[in-house]
Amino acid sequence: MRRFVVGAAIPEGVLARVLQAAHAAPSVGLMQPWRFIRITDAALRARVHALVDEERELTAAALGPRAEEFLQLKVEGILECAELLVVALGGNRDVHIFGRRTLPQMDLASVSCAIQNLWLAARSEGLGMGWVSLFDPQRLAALLEMPTDAEPVAILCLGPVPEFPDRPALELDDWAFARPLDEFVCENRWNQPPGEPGPGQPAPAAGAGTASTVPSQSV
Ligand SMILES: Cc1cc2nc3c(=O)[nH]c(=O)nc-3n(C[C@H](O)[C@H](O)[C@H](O)COP(=O)(O)O)c2cc1C
């Protein structure tokens, strides 16, 4: 969500519940790498917005021919939303090895689970949420006086919204279109459609059905 009801507020109890839902997320090795910084200072919110707006311009420049089209999109609601949260990875994460020896990025995956929980809990409370990732992490970390081994991951805009559109905003703006599930599921090897024989396997006997667990129609 990028459009919010200006001047609205979130009751403290509701905010506590959505944060509790985030904190109930699964995490690799139970490391709970998430940190939540609530931005309540209006001047600080304006500085966060300025950082995002700078990155919005740089993103537009990097997009080349789609720059102007991108600049027409609404890509954040930082100044309008009722609550602004910055979610970060905490420091000292290297001590957590369980589940991260070969995949250290599982700390980020765990934080993403927490943010998804927050997103769904907010929706069930009738609130909208927008995830903003247009920022320079080092500059945001400096602004919020984070230790050098912590890392901001998301700026979350949270609050009452005028409406919940029934399609992604980027589709409504003709920017990008979601593709159906069956383009993302394969079986036994990369890009093999479900139900087709695997490497070195015979084709299934006529009438035997398929081993597919995923319906092939679009969702
Ligand atoms: C990790 C992540 C980062 C995102 N960053 C941004 C962002 O910086 N600006 C923005 O407008 N939307 C951002 N989004 C929102 C997605 O673009 C949006 O959820 C998706 O297009 C679906 O559209 P809808 O939210 O309008 O339904 C982000 C979403 C995710 C999951």
131, 157, 175, best to mutate for ligand 1 pocket (most atoms within 8 Å of CB): 131
Q: Is 164 found in the same domain as 189?
A: no
Alpha helices by DSSP H, listed for the chain, are: 12-23, 42-63, 67-72, 106-124, 137-143, 169-172
Q: Tens of pLDDT along 69-78? A: 999 999 999 9
Instruction: Tell me whether residue 2 is in a domain.
Output: no
Containing domain of residue 60, as a range? 12-172
Instruction: Tell me whether residue 109 is in a domain.
Output: yes
Q: Is 189 found in the same domain as 121?
A: no
Instruction: Tell me whether residue 6 is in a domain.
Output: no
Tokens of 53: 């707006």
What is the per-residue pLDDT for 18? 98
**Over residues 87-110, mean pLDDT:** 98
Instruction: Tell me whether residue 219 is in a domain.
Output: yes
What is the per-residue pLDDT for 201? 72
Count of H-run helices and E-run strands, the chain: 6, 4
Is residue 88 a contact partner of residue 33, using CB atoms and an 8 Å limit?
no
Q: Is 190 found in the same domain as 88?
A: no
Q: Is 184 found in the same domain as 90?
A: no
Distance 199 CA to ligand 1 centre (A): 38
Q: Tens of pLDDT along 137-162? A: 999 999 999 999 999 999 999 999 99
Distance 2 CA to ligand 1 centre (A): 9
Instruction: Tell me whether residue 205 is in a domain.
Output: no
- Kindly state the helix (H) or strand (E) to which residue 35 belongs, with its residue range: strand 34-39
Q: Tens of pLDDT along 208-217? A: 444 444 443 3
Residue 109: phi, psi to the nearest 5? -60, -40
Q: Is 186 found in the same domain as 166?
A: no
Q: Is 117 found in the same domain as 94?
A: yes
Q: Is 156 found in the same domain as 127?
A: yes
Give the number of the atom of ligand 1 that is nearest the alpha carbon of residue 155.
Answer: 8
Q: Is 194 found in the same domain as 132?
A: no
Is the pLDDT confidence value at 41 over 50?
yes
Instruction: Tell me whether residue 98 is in a domain.
Output: yes
Q: Is 190 found in the same domain as 143?
A: no
Instruction: Tell me whether residue 206 is in a domain.
Output: no
Q: Is 192 found in the same domain as 129?
A: no
Q: Is 183 found in the same domain as 152?
A: no
Instruction: Tell me whether residue 41 is in a domain.
Output: yes
User: What sign does the dihedral 47-48-54-60 (CA atoms) show?
Assistant: negative
Q: Is 98 found in the same domain as 187?
A: no
CATH of the domain at 68: 3.40.109.10
Distance 43 CA to ligand 1 centre (A): 25
The total number of structural domains in the chain stands at 2
More confident residue, 199 or 102: 102
Distance 31 CA to ligand 1 centre (A): 26
